[in-house]
């Protein structure tokens, strides 16, 4: 594809439910990032994948958050037992490598009611 | 804690005017300073970036000024146009982990 694709674009869920957010990076990009953007806030780093290396999970805010990247391509961010404070836009980005510019998708807007 | 502080939160400028956004950082290990532009409903897109070995970088109407001793850098948008109305984020990194400022919403009045 031409860019980073994220789905769904919008997700409304009830408190306590689990959600899965999907990211398809640009073909050939070995690095993949997840960021969270809350209203009026900057982008908060969540997790980083680079090739077959162990991911940097240092930004995940709690153990309810997890992410995986299958086959070095598609990534899924899972939030278990969602809370209202999880409401935000979740952005995925990919790059050619650790020192290359990030290309962001349009995000998934998550609303927890 | 926020590693990059950005100001102002918002600004309004007349068409043809100059928009100036300032950022400050604490971590002297940072060696890459990009600016991203974000339109509503879209992801941020890289606008321009600088490394600390230069004090200024210009690309078209966009200029980054970098002051290493003060640990500050700024974005100047010259001859601002209505199409420049967007949210701008500064960021800084050492390696792969970008730390972003809180963003500045720029509105350009025709």
Cα distances (Å, whole numbers) of residue B14 to B10, B78, B92: 14, 11, 29
φ and ψ at residue B12, rounded to 5 degrees: -120, 135
Cα distances (Å, whole numbers) of residue B95 to A29, B27, B91, B92: 16, 13, 12, 10
- A41 in contact with chain B, both atoms CB, cutoff 8 A: yes
Query: What is the per-residue pLDDT for B1?
Result: 64
Cα angle A41-A45-A50, degrees, rounded to a multiple of 5:
155
Chain centroid, CA B50 distance in Å:
10
CB B29 within 8 A of CB B40: no
Q: How many CB pairs under 8 A join A and B?
A: 54
Question: What is the tens place of the pLDDT at every residue in B69-104?
Answer: 999 999 999 999 999 999 999 999 988 989 999 999
Question: What is the tens place of the pLDDT at every residue in B50-75?
Answer: 999 999 999 999 999 999 999 999 99
Our CA-based measurement puts residue B110 at a distance from the nearest CA of chain A, in whole angstroms, of 25
Query: What is the per-residue pLDDT for B38?
Result: 97
């Amino acid at each position: 594809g031409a860019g980073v694709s994220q789905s769904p674009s919008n997700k409304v869920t009830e408190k306590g439910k689990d959600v899965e957010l999907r990211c398809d990076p640009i073909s050939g990009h070995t690095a993949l990032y997840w960021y969270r953007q809350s209203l009026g806030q900057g982008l908060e780093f969540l997790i980083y994948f680079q090739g077959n290396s162990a991911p940097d999970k240092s930004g995940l805010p709690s153990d309810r958050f997890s992410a995986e990247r299958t086959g070095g391509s598609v990534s899924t961010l899972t939030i278990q037992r969602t809370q209202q404070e999880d409401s935000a836009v979740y952005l995925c980005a990919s790059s050619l490598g650790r020192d290359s510019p990030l290309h962001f998708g349009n995000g998934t807007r998550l609303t927890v009611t | 804690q926020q590693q990059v502080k950005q100001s102002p939160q918002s600004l309004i400028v007349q068409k043809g005017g100059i928009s100036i956004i300032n950022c400050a950082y604490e971590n002297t290990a940072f060696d890459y300073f990009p600016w991203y532009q974000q339109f509503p409903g879209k992801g941020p897109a890289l606008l321009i970036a600088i490394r600390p070995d230069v004090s200024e970088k210009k690309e078209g109407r966009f200029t980054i000024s970098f002051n290493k001793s003060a640990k500050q850098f700024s974005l100047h948008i010259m001859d601002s146009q209505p199409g420049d109305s967007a949210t701008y984020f500064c960021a800084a990194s050492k390696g792969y982990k970008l730390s972003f400022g809180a963003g500045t919403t720029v509105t350009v009045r025709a």
